[in-house]
């Protein structure tokens, strides 16, 4: 075995020889181990099959998710009996005022249905398949989707024209799962990972410019993971870097494909914060949730052009922990925890006044775990919330 010394203690690793997963000797050993396990547990096969059949009999294989409106389309997922993977679909809304989710029958054709991505077709011929992201461009015409056919969580990003079905030549390999569109529907941001599978670099790709992607951010500190997204208002691209105890956020104009990123607040060891963009009484504001001197977090607002000029909206409390925030055109939603239970508050944004009276979002039972359940539209007149308990399956509410 391999000898290692740590703090004067000698450790002998008898399995160091197995570190190289591509070594033929290691592969042969693992195959022999698998064959041995199969032989020793073969008597369990009838029981395994019985359990599988019982679970399958209780599973609704042909199903359809609750449609979610995004701009002029209802988006939903389908599953079919005998198929291993889902199908991403959409159909047009009836009109601007159509906010009632259509009640579809999963066994009948849906008028105007468009298949965005059939995972079964993509998985054909592969022993392993997973979708990392399937994101429609702001103009609704293009789909950016990433797939992994190896199982190493390094994805290949491709682009599909939803008007014609054409898959563009652009092909970006070795990325992490997600992808974010800029406002021009021609530029995307994505992240890549280091040797330890840590997302550490954000790149910018313009459709048609294969091989000319621009690195816009790199995080050298191995304690920090990096992510990129777009605010619900579609105004900004946001890069967040976070460790277990520290975070830092950068932002750039989503409408400018060449925009430079600006730091909201410089990182300070032990200080975590998150940022939402809101328009309060006609003014652009950053709503910042932070724990600087407030272990249970506090909520402040600040002008976008001066995030240090902060005004406290919700002060820190010992008995309540603020856990998240979502901003919309007409209200904000505060996620918090009190008496060990997750809860939601809705805070209207009132023209000429700013913030209105806080409204508590309640359910039939107090012992419910709740949260937002997909709300992509900035100016939606309704809020979709999910709630569940030990006795109640997940329920979706439109409020």
Coil, helix or strand at residue 120: helix
- Token pair of 223 as six digits: 């304690």
The pLDDT value recorded for residue 109 is 84
Indicate whether 368 pLDDT > 90.
no
Q: Which residues of 221-259 are buried (b: 16+ CB within 10 A; e: fewer)?
A: eeebbbebebbbbebbbbbbbbbeebbbbbbbbbeebeb
Indicate whether 52 pLDDT > 90.
yes
73 neighbors 91 (Cβ within 8 angstroms): yes
Indicate whether 366 pLDDT > 90.
no
379 neighbors 330 (Cβ within 8 angstroms): yes
Phi, psi of 51 (to 5 degrees): -65, -45
Indicate the pLDDT class of residue 204, thresholds 50, 70 and 90. very high
338 neighbors 317 (Cβ within 8 angstroms): no
* Cα 46 to the center of its chain, rounded Å: 39
The pLDDT value recorded for residue 2 is 84
Indicate the pLDDT class of residue 149, thresholds 50, 70 and 90. very high
The pLDDT value recorded for residue 42 is 97
The pLDDT value recorded for residue 74 is 96
The pLDDT value recorded for residue 133 is 95
The pLDDT value recorded for residue 105 is 80
- Overall pTM > 0.75: yes
Mean pLDDT of 9-34: 92
The pLDDT value recorded for residue 374 is 85
H or E element, residue 189:
strand 187-193
Mean pLDDT of 365-391: 90
The residue extents of the domains of the chain are 1-58, 273-399
The pLDDT value recorded for residue 363 is 87
Residues of the chain with pLDDT > 90: what percent? 81
Indicate the pLDDT class of residue 26, thresholds 50, 70 and 90. very high
CATH, domain range 273-399: 2.130.10.120
Taking only the tens place, the pLDDT of each residue in 79-130 is 999 899 999 999 999 999 999 988 888 788 899 999 999 999 999 999 999 9
Mean pLDDT of 288-317: 97
Indicate whether 1 pLDDT > 80.
no
Mean pLDDT of 159-172: 97
183 neighbors 174 (Cβ within 8 angstroms): no
What are the CB-based long-range contacts (under 8 Å, 24+) for 338-341? 341/366, 341/367, 341/368, 341/369
Question: Distance (Å, rounded) from C-alpha 197 to C-alpha 199?
Answer: 6
Question: What's the mean per-residue pLDDT of the chain?
Answer: 94
Which distant-in-sequence residues (6+ apart) come within 8 Å of 379 by Cβ? Answer: 328, 329, 330
Coil, helix or strand at residue 17: helix
Indicate whether 216 pLDDT > 80.
yes
Indicate whether 70 pLDDT > 90.
yes
């Amino acid at each position: 075995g391999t000898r290692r010394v740590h703090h004067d203690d000698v450790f002998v690793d008898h399995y160091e020889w197995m570190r190289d997963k591509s070594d033929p000797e290691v592969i042969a050993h693992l195959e022999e181990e698998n064959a041995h396990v199969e032989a020793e547990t073969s008597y369990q096969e009838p029981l395994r099959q019985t359990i599988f059949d019982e679970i399958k009999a209780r599973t609704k294989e042909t199903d359809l998710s609750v449609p979610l409106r995004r701009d002029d389309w209802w988006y939903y997922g389908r599953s079919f009996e005998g198929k291993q993977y889902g199908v991403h679909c959409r159909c047009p809304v009836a009109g601007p005022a159509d906010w009632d989710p259509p009640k579809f029958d999963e066994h009948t054709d849906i008028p105007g249905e468009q298949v965005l991505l059939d995972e079964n077709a993509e998985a054909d011929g592969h022993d392993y398949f997973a979708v990392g992201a399937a994101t429609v461009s702001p103009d609704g015409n293009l789909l950016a989707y990433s797939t992994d056919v190896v199982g190493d969580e390094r994805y290949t990003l491709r682009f599909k024209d939803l008007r014609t079905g054409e898959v563009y030549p652009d092909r970006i390999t070795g990325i992490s799962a997600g992808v974010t569109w800029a406002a021009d529907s021609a530029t995307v941001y994505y992240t890549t990972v280091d040797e330890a599978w840590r997302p550490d670099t954000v790149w910018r790709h313009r459709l048609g410019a294969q091989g000319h992607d621009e690195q816009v951010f790199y995080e050298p500190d191995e304690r920090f993971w990096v992510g990129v997204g777009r605010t619900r208002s579609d105004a900004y691209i946001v890069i967040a870097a976070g460790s277990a105890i520290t975070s830092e956020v950068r932002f750039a104009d989503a409408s400018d494909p060449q925009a430079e990123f600006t730091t909201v607040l410089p990182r300070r060891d032990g200080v975590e914060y998150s940022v939402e963009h809101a328009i309060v009484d006609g003014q652009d504001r950053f709503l910042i949730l932070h724990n600087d001197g407030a272990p249970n977090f506090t909520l402040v607002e600040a002008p976008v052009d001066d995030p240090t000029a902060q005004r406290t909206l919700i002060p820190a409390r010992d008995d309540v922990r603020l856990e998240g925030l979502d901003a919309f055109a007409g209200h904000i939603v505060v996620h918090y925890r009190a008496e060990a239970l997750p809860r939601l508050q809705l805070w209207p944004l009132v023209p000429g006044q700013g913030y209105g009276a806080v409204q508590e979002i309640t359910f039939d039972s107090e012992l419910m775990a709740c949260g937002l359940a997909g709300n992509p539209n900035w100016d939606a007149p309704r809020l979709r919330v999910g709630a569940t308990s030990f006795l109640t399956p997940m329920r979706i509410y439109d409020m």
